[in-house]
Amino acid sequence: MPVPRLALAAFGALVLTAGCTETAATGGAVPIDRGTDPAGGLPGTTAAGTPPTTADASKVVAAVNAVLGGQAAISRPLTDQSDGVAVEDDRVFVLGDSITESTDAQHYGTLDRQLRPLGWAVTIDAKRGRTTQQGIDELDKHGDEVHDAAVVLLGHNDAVDPTAYRKKLDRIVELLSGVRRVVLLTNYEFEPGRDRMNAELWAEAAAHPGVEVVDWNAVVSSTSGAIGPDGLHLTMTGARALAATIAVALGPAPVSAGSS
């Protein structure tokens, strides 16, 4: 059964109801609002193009942590080592579509800025329009780049078909079977039926030790100004929120010679 979703009162929830279609998922530019940062975003956001200060980043992480309820919306946080499988390598592989792509160095650059201070060496493999099947193909080709930790955010470009999505999730988990911690992020529920897709993510994590789910949908749905005019793609505010969500899930990297 899916883990119950958090109440979003901690963030003064603003659920975005912009009209979205599958076309928006597959054809939107990334990021659609380059050079803008809508007002009313996360606490501590700065002007477009201005790197956030340490204080800014701390406020963003605190706001995201409030939505996640101190990790209550994470099925089994990386910091929980109760199963005895500890992450020993400081390299993390992040796989995604245009939503994740907005956090890379060619776009808003938020993920490295959040994870580097925590000791993580980040590889982002994200591409506009990528489906879950294309993500599987990418893992087939680049599996040797994945070490002890992997983060996956895929599904926005898939048709609403929970059964087919679950089969693809099974394949992703199979390909990452040697990875000590796998983090699956829920999709933003931008159209009807996406909640059923997210339910499969929770079920996947429940079936596989070492797999966690983090409720990105809860964060993005309650972050004012996170979503751009097309109803799906991230603004600077949204990219900061996504980076902070991943940072909250991962916590500090282990001391490792993996990247140094």
Give per-residue pLDDT as tens, 37-80.
333 333 333 333 444 444 555 666 677 767 665 443 444 444 45
Percent of the chain with pLDDT over 70: 67
Q: Which residue has the tokens 């200060």?
A: 53
Lowest mean pLDDT among 73-87, 145-159, 232-246: 73-87
Lowest mean pLDDT among 57-71, 114-128, 141-155, 187-201: 57-71
Say if residues 76 and 205 touch (Cβ distance below 8 Å). yes
How many angstroms from the chain centroid is the CA of residue 112?
13
Q: Alpha-carbon distance 170 to 176, whole Å? A: 10
State residue 14's pLDDT score.
Answer: 22
Domains of the chain (ranges plus CATH)? 36-250 (3.40.50.1110)
State residue 58's pLDDT score.
Answer: 65
pLDDT at 101 over 90: yes
Average the pLDDT over 155-173 and give the result: 97
Q: What residues does 184 pair with on adjacent strands?
A: 152, 213
State residue 59's pLDDT score.
Answer: 67
Cβ neighbourhood burial of 129 (10 Å; 0-12, 13-18, 19+): middle
Q: pLDDT averaged over the chain?
A: 76
Average the pLDDT over 215-233 and give the result: 91
For residues 199 and 38, which has the higher predicted lDDT (pLDDT)?
Answer: 199
For residues 11 and 259, which has the higher predicted lDDT (pLDDT)?
Answer: 259
Lowest mean pLDDT among 80-84, 160-164, 250-254: 80-84
Q: Spell out the residues 6+ positions from residue 210 whose beta carbon is closer than 8 angstroms to its own.
A: 83, 85, 179, 180, 181, 182
Greatest Cα-to-Cα distance within the chain, rounded to the nearest angstrom:
47
pLDDT at 243 over 50: yes
State residue 48's pLDDT score.
Answer: 39
User: Which pLDDT band, with edges at 50, 70 and 90, does 224 fall under?
Assistant: confident
SS (H, E, C) 39-72: CCCCCCCCCCCCCCCHHHHHHHHHHHHHHCCCCC
Lowest mean pLDDT among 56-70, 153-167, 217-231: 56-70
- Give ∠ CA 157-163-164 in degrees, rounded to 5: 45
User: Which pLDDT band, with edges at 50, 70 and 90, does 199 fall under?
Assistant: very high
State residue 69's pLDDT score.
Answer: 54
